[in-house]
Amino acid sequence: MKNSREKQKIVMLSLIKNTYKNFKFNFFACTYFEMCYRILTAFIFGPIIFLIFKYFIKTDGMANLTNKDFITFGLSPEGIICIAILLVLAFCMIFIEIGALTYIGAESHRGKKIKIIDGVFNVFGILKDTFNIGLIPLILITGVIGPLTGVGLCSSLIRNYSIPPFITIELSKTLLGKVLLGLIAVVVVVLLLRWILAIPIVVIEKVKGKEAVSKSNRIYKKNKWTLLKGVILWEVVFIILISIAISVFLGAGIGIGGYIFSPNSIESKILLGILLVLFYIGFIVVSLLITPLFVSFLVELYYALRDDLVEDEREFKSYEDYKNNILYKISRKGSKIFVAILILCFIGYSGFIGYRTVFNKVINDKVQITAHRGASEVAPENTLSAIKEAEKQGANYAEIDVQTTKDNQIILLHDGTFKRTAGVNKTPRQLTLKEIEKLDNGSFFSSKYKGEPIPTLDKVLKESKGKIKLNIELKPKGNDDPLVQNVNKLIVENGMEHEVIISSSNFEALQKMKKLNPNMEIGYIVLAAVGDFEKLNVDFFSLEYSLVDAKTVYGLHALGKGVHVFTINDREEAEKMIYLGVDNIITDNVPMVLDVKREMESGEHYDYVTFYYESILGIINYAKI
């Protein structure tokens, strides 16, 4: 046991030292390769993937995919073929990048200087070894688990991503949902540790994909805690170094603009501008090196933990082996010009992204604010109390969800059942309005609201008239649900046609409403989209905030369509959305968004130091190189 602990200490200490030493050995090769591959991904590989996807969508008779269309398409013959092709193609692109970086790491470990072109040709040769049953876990680790965990095992094609906030927020509202999130996290971490060495093994050892995955599993079983410590070590060291670097730049900026010179002086403007450029250059370098450095770390981890009795380590080919290969000759002959062109493209591309991130800000001083399910942070969601609180907070709209009861009355409810909010595991279509009115819809939130009833849409319309506008989200259940007709009838009866807008993730329901009442303003709630969704027949789009960027906002506005964004509960996200020029921000925290809006409109306390600070945060959060 003592020897085991000592071995782990040695492994952890040597990991840092060896990773740094061997990464530095072929540093320029890593940098050039990653720079070139990012440009190829942005302008060639990525568009190829998109065009193939778009071709199959059109083959299936669709112009775009939104929301549930993804499931429909995914289950169709065309969708299955498309997904299979894209998975294999995307894996090949990712493997070439991570495999080439692994080749560089392995040769650095052996003390050999390398040529990038040799690495690419070697990896192309190794690629065929991955095409067996082991391909599935290799696809998962490189295309899903690596990017999802954000530990560095991500490619130019698939960057870090996370479970959409609207899913995690909803799951975190119930104990079962929290348990499910916890289980997902555990499964993802275990699979990461089990398969994390599969790529180094298949590249360095002369084995097939299936055997590489099995060997990675065996190393995991013997060294699970060492592997976990290794990944944690990477995260800790990386976070500390990045935090120090950011703190230095922020501290220097505050020192220059707050103590040495005036925040609005020309000296501050020049010096902070220089600092900002230096920070952005550093940001680009770090962005380029995260994946190569982590792959180098994995290679050293592999060598530290592998069985010393590896018999058949791969001997990589070089010029002597490829000198008669015509493609190799052509590639080598034109490589310098090709790399030079790609580097110039990368510099221009990076400069454009930096400029757009820092300066492409269109403040919409008319942006409106919607209280999500009413003022749901201070009162039970979808209740009269929440609507009244939203009025007091100064929201322009209150967003509510409506469903049909057993006796065809319209009530407010977000979930499919009353379980979370009223403790009754039944749907609205299973209960009459009289039965629903007896439910306690407030105790789940606070004892202060014990006995709060579930309101009808009619009562909410009467309460809201002349006080606050409503965004009514339709949640129809089945083709025979009279929700659309009954909602329209109530709105007309209460004379509220110009005080409400209608939204839904059900496109057919929206079209039914528009046909029934052409004067009604309708908006499509989009959780995910591919293709020309902008041309859909709606007045506005309600978009999950990760889908919103300058291009999307500009494109929708050019078509005369509004842009609503949900659910914004963070100051920085609120600032970003206002800068992008969205028309409506849906939030649980109306006072916060109002405060951000007032600050941005007035320009109060806005000087060069503030601009510098916001620019650095903007680069960190939104500049994707």
Whether residue 372 lies in the annotated active site: yes
Whether residue 564 lies in the annotated active site: no
253, 272 contact by CB (below 8 A): yes
211-246 pLDDT, tens digit each: 999 999 999 999 998 899 889 988 898 899 999 999
328-360 pLDDT, tens digit each: 888 888 788 888 898 899 999 999 999 888 887
Question: What pLDDT shows up at residue 9?
Answer: 57
| CA atoms of 33 and 116, how far apart (whole Å) | 7
Average pLDDT of span 430-455: 96
Above 50 in pLDDT, residue 1? Answer: no
Question: What pLDDT shows up at residue 150?
Answer: 84
Above 90 in pLDDT, residue 6? Answer: no
Of 331-345, 495-509, 557-571, where does mean pLDDT reach its minimum?
A: 331-345
Query: Taking each helix axis from N to C terminus, what angle separates 175-195 and 209-255, rounded to the nearest 10 degrees?
Result: 110
Q: What are the tokens at 230?
A: 């290794």
| CA atoms of 394 and 516, how far apart (whole Å) | 32
Half-sphere exposure of 137 (CA within 13 A, CB side): 24
Question: What pLDDT shows up at residue 310?
Answer: 66
Question: What pLDDT shows up at residue 605?
Answer: 56
Q: Which amino acid is at 50?
A: F
Question: What pLDDT shows up at residue 2?
Answer: 47
Question: What pLDDT shows up at residue 15?
Answer: 83
57, 86 contact by CB (below 8 A): no
Of 5-19, 260-274, 312-326, 372-386, where does mean pLDDT reach its minimum?
A: 5-19
Above 90 in pLDDT, residue 460? Answer: yes
Confidence of residue 547 (pLDDT cuts 50, 70, 90): confident
The single residue of 372, 498, 557, 605 carrying the catalytic annotation is: 372
Average pLDDT of span 140-152: 90
Question: What pLDDT shows up at residue 274?
Answer: 94
Which of 312-319's residues contact partners 24+ apart within 8 Å by CB, and which partners? 312/205, 312/206, 312/207, 313/204, 313/205, 313/206, 314/126, 314/203, 314/204, 314/205, 314/206, 316/103, 316/106, 316/107, 316/118, 316/122, 317/118, 317/121, 317/122, 317/125, 318/115, 318/118, 319/115, 319/118
302-325 pLDDT, tens digit each: 998 887 656 678 889 887 888 788
Q: CB-based contacts of 611: which residues, under 8 Å, 6+ apart?
A: 272
| Angle, CA 504 vertex, CA 498 and CA 507 arms, to 5° | 110
Above 60 in pLDDT, residue 4? Answer: no
Question: What pLDDT shows up at residue 606?
Answer: 67
Of 157-171, 254-268, 366-380, where does mean pLDDT reach its minimum?
A: 157-171
Question: What pLDDT shows up at residue 368?
Answer: 96
% of the chain at pLDDT higher than 70 = 96
Above 90 in pLDDT, residue 411? Answer: yes
Mean pLDDT of the chain: 90
| CA atoms of 570 and 574, how far apart (whole Å) | 6
Confidence of residue 207 (pLDDT cuts 50, 70, 90): very high
Above 60 in pLDDT, residue 604? Answer: no
Top-confidence residue, 15 or 493: 493
Top-confidence residue, 60 or 295: 295
Q: CB-based contacts of 303: which residues, under 8 Å, 6+ apart?
A: 18, 109
Question: What pLDDT shows up at residue 572?
Answer: 85
The residue among 543, 584, 535 whose CA lies nearest residue 560 is: 535
Above 50 in pLDDT, residue 502? Answer: yes
Above 50 in pLDDT, residue 20? Answer: yes
Of 268-282, 338-352, 467-481, 601-615, where does mean pLDDT reach its minimum?
A: 601-615
Query: The pTM is what?
Result: 0.84
Q: What are the tokens at 487?
A: 């909602």
| CA atoms of 61 and 242, how far apart (whole Å) | 48
Q: What are the tokens at 146?
A: 């690596």
Average pLDDT of span 514-518: 95
Question: What pLDDT shows up at residue 11?
Answer: 65
